[in-house]
Chain A
Amino acid sequence: DAGITQSPRHKVTETGTPVTLRCHQTENHRYMYWYRQDPGHGLRLIHYSYGVKDTDKGEVSDGYSVSRSKTEDFLLTLESATSSQTSVYFCAISESVMVLAGGNNEQFFGPGTRLTVL
């Protein structure tokens, strides 16, 4: 299994409080992603990173920010949590996106963080 950990694994918080989720990898992969999973929606991309300090928005980025100061860590922050952000959050990593050059663009997923905002 790819070395990906997420912390915390479970969190309950109140509306309006800040929350930070951490994704840590030991694979030295360049690309990292944050997804949220909700019933009836599958997984949707929040933000992704293509290198240290290089990040970009995904499909559902409103209300979320990210930071990547080291290759191994990708943080997802909810500045002021809302009930609509109750979800399961998955981190993923990928070695490459350059398949035609022989790279492997498979994304490996972490175990997830279940966040409940009351």
Chain B
Amino acid sequence: AQSVTQPDIHITVSEGASLELRCNYSYGATPYLFWYVQSPGQGLQLLLKYFSGDTLVQGIKGFEAEFKRSQSSFNLRKPSVHWSDAAEYFCAVGATGGGNKLTFGTGTQLKVEL
């Protein structure tokens, strides 16, 4: 069975500082990997996704993520955080068959200090 671990429940960074959110996955084959962001009271918005090819993926809002097969990781990064990035971030792994059912991590709540 597939699983996702986001080890950091809460992270606080200062505006303008760099950010890295960690994600480790477990899946028996090459996974589909996603990062979603959720603002308070809202649905989820896709930041970026990885299926194959270049292991450094660029997304929206200046985010990027790097797939490292040897570490089973897909960490999300941003060079300079803006106050509007405060939200909850979810990493998810999708099965390559069987309806693309997503398994989500428990989320990381990001707080940005001004």
User: Which A residues form the contact surface with B (CB < 8 A)?
Assistant: 31, 33, 35, 40-45, 48, 50, 56, 58-59, 90, 94, 97, 99, 105-112
- Report whether A42 and B49 are in contact in the complex, using a CB–CB cutoff of 8 Å: no
- Report whether B43 and A105 are in contact in the complex, using a CB–CB cutoff of 8 Å: no
Chain A proximity of B48: nearest CB distance (Å): 10
- Report whether B44 and A94 are in contact in the complex, using a CB–CB cutoff of 8 Å: no
User: Which B residues form the contact surface with A (CB < 8 A)?
Assistant: 4, 6, 32, 34, 36, 42-46, 49, 51, 90, 92, 94, 96-97, 99-107
Q: Name the A residues within 8 Å of B44 (CB-CB).
A: 43, 90, 109
Given contacts A40-B106, A42-B106, A42-B107, contact A110 B101 (CB under 8 A): no
Chain B proximity of A42: nearest CB distance (Å): 4
Chain B proximity of A60: nearest CB distance (Å): 12
- Report whether A50 and B99 are in contact in the complex, using a CB–CB cutoff of 8 Å: yes
Chain A proximity of B91: nearest CB distance (Å): 9
Residue of A nearest to B1 (CB): A59
Q: Name the B residues within 8 Å of A99 (CB-CB).
A: 32, 51, 96
A40 to B97, CA, bound (A): 27
Given contacts A43-B90, A90-B43, A112-B43, contact A107 B51 (CB under 8 A): no
Chain B proximity of A4: nearest CB distance (Å): 8
Q: Name the A residues within 8 Å of B105 (CB-CB).
A: 42
Chain A proximity of B88: nearest CB distance (Å): 9
A108 to B32, CA, bound (A): 15
- Report whether A105 and B100 are in contact in the complex, using a CB–CB cutoff of 8 Å: yes
A32 to B36, CA, bound (A): 18
Residue of A nearest to B51 (CB): A99
Q: Name the B residues within 8 Å of A110 (CB-CB).
A: 43
Chain A proximity of B46: nearest CB distance (Å): 6
Given contact pairs A42-B105, A107-B46, A109-B43, enumerate 7 new A-B contacts (beta carbons under 8 Å). A45-B102, A48-B101, A56-B99, A90-B44, A99-B32, A105-B32, A110-B43
